[in-house]
Chains A and B, each alone.
Chain A
Amino acid sequence: QVQLQESDPGVVKPSETLSLSCTVSGGSISPYYWSWIRQPPGKGLEWIGYIYYTGDAKYNPSLKSRVYMSVDTSKNLFSLSLTSVSAADTAVYYCARGSGDWDYWGQGTLVTVSS
């Protein structure tokens, strides 16, 4: 059974960079797409972007200037960086398998942007 586990950065200060990783167990990171999706408290889901196991990534146009994703096949994990964060980036961040129909999800990690 494939399982995904997000890291837990907790609180990030405004204007700093949010960094998250997602470790995949019970299966290989290849040859799949892997995504990040977030959900502000009490609000809906927002697609952030996805990355192929080869490293090819696509991002939400509204976040594209601040987002970077990477993959480490040797460690079976992929990562998200979001720069210049503000309170609007406070959300539960989920990692998931797929590029548009996500069949396996992590439990989610709450990232709070606060000074």
Chain B
Amino acid sequence: QSALTQPASVSGSPGQSITVSCTGTSDDVGGYNIVSWYQQHPGKAPKLMIYEVSKRPSGVSVRFSGSKSGNTASLTISGLQAEDEADYYCCAYAGSYSYVFGSGTKVTVL
């Protein structure tokens, strides 16, 4: 099980839209519609933002959306706000009752 590949950093100005990618293989991201995304502020526990590729938990802003194409999943943040600055991690089901996280992406609001 290798970590899913995410860009180390993504940045954008307030109000812009950004997309964070998460690339795996047909054994994980591409094989199942079980991809979740987490937001983590420094010193805090991760927070679930997206589950099952594109579903949003209650209370999560509609500015956050998820999608998947082939072996790559994506998290899009629209109308970027200062409070969105954080680390973001994807996670995918990898078969045989196991899960694998992405390498993490630092989102910076310019």
Contacts and interface: CB of A to CB of B under 8 A. Distances in A.
Contact of A58 (B52, B98, B104): B98
Contacts of B97: 58
Contacts, number: 53
Interface of A: 37, 44-47, 58, 60-62, 94, 99-103, 105-108
Report the contact-size class of chain B (Cβ under 8 Å from the partner): 20 to 34
Given A100-B36, A106-B45, 17 more contacts: A44-B89, A44-B104, A45-B89, A47-B100, A58-B97, A60-B98, A61-B1, A61-B96, A62-B1, A100-B34, A100-B91, A100-B99, A101-B48, A102-B46, A103-B48, A103-B57, A107-B45
A62 to B, nearest CB: 7
Contact of A47 (B34, B45, B99, B103): B99
B98 A61 contact: yes
20 contacts: A37-B46, A44-B3, A44-B103, A44-B104, A45-B38, A45-B46, A45-B101, A47-B91, A58-B98, A60-B1, A94-B45, A94-B46, A100-B91, A100-B99, A101-B36, A101-B51, A102-B36, A102-B48, A103-B57, A108-B45
